[in-house]
């Protein structure tokens, strides 16, 4: 598996303190697209600047990333905040 085919799941904290979860094989490019507020920006994120990447986890295939995204989206807010804090502390 090449690095270009590795997919990641990520969380973005919006200016209104809400959290957005997504997947990408290039998280920094995707974050730039979201921040541009252009046509490739997720509708949910429009008008919610500033957008800050607070969590990223390399998962593997697109299918695995989608499964992890689904799992994270179904977590409580408290559990998502714990995931973010745990990731920050392990850097």
Going along the chain from its start, the domains and CATH numbers come out as 3-89 (3.40.1440.10)
Res 58: pLDDT:
96
- Residue for token pair 């295939």: 61
Res 45: pLDDT:
97
- Residues 43-55 have pLDDT tens digits of 999 999 999 999 9
Q: Specify the 3-state DSSP secondary structure of 23.
A: strand
Q: pTM for the full model?
A: 0.91
Res 87: pLDDT:
82
- Residues 32-83 have pLDDT tens digits of 999 999 999 999 999 999 999 999 999 999 999 999 999 999 999 999 999 9
What strand order describes the sheet that includes 52-60?
Answer: 19-24, 7-13, 52-60
- Residues 2-27 have pLDDT tens digits of 555 899 999 999 999 999 999 999 99
Res 9: pLDDT:
98
């Amino acid at each position: 598996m090449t690095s270009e085919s590795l997919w990641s799941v990520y969380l973005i904290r919006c200016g209104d303190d809400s959290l957005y979860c997504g997947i990408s094989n290039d998280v920094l490019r995707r974050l730039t697209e979201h921040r541009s507020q252009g046509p490739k920006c997720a509708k949910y994120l429009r008008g919610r600047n500033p957008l800050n990447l607070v969590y990223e986890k390399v998962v593997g295939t697109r299918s695995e990333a989608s499964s992890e995204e689904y799992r994270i989206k179904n977590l409580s807010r408290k559990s998502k905040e714990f995931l973010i804090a745990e990731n920050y502390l392990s850097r």
